[in-house]
Structure 1
């Protein structure tokens, strides 16, 4: 499903469709796309604290906007897959990380 959405977003970038929100984002440029990603990330956090149903909606919005960002930046889902595969099975050394209140 995410692959199909990514492909649809790519298609909209290559062949704009009048009235498309995706094309609106591309026409506004990277700053607008980044602003939307930030807004949606914040909404995910708030929803996670308050309402599981809203969390589903906001997570869907965030994923969509992240895919728009990836297409805008020319990053493929395969690149993301490769990076995630590199991380699979690796242990995180939490003792080497700063406490969250020091970040």
Structure 2
């Protein structure tokens, strides 16, 4: 399994914050007037949508919502200054 897409998404998130384009969903979430609450709300929303997709046994929607959940969790990590590489390292440590 190739997980480099996670690294690419993380790089894009970081790049959007460092060099904000005129229109950017990432920037909108991470600079929202609600602060960290906005990205955390999105994690909760996406987790709920994933749970409902899992419950409803709709494979395509499960995959879609899982991707949304991963993405928004990555945004929340960025919002609280947790490096994605540290999360990967922790998963690798647990896998041994």
Alpha-carbon deviations, 1:29-78, whole Å to 9, x = none? 21000000000001000001111110111111111111111111221122
Q: Does 1:61 align with 2:65?
A: no
- Is 1:21 the counterpart of 2:28 in the alignment? no
- In structure 1, what is the Cα distance between the partners aligned to 2:71 and 2:92? 22
The CA deviation at 1:23 is 0.7
Deviation at residue 3 of structure 1 after TM alignment: 0.5
Q: Structure 2, unaligned stretches of length 5 or more?
A: none
CA displacement at 1:85 relative to structure 2: 2.2
Normalised to the residue count of structure 2, the TM-score between the two structures is: 0.86
Aligned to 2:92: 85
* Greater C-alpha Rg: 1
2:49 to 33, 43, 47: 43
Q: Which runs of 5+ in 1 are unaligned?
A: 90-103
Corresponding pairs, count = 89
| Runs (4+) off by over 4 Å | none
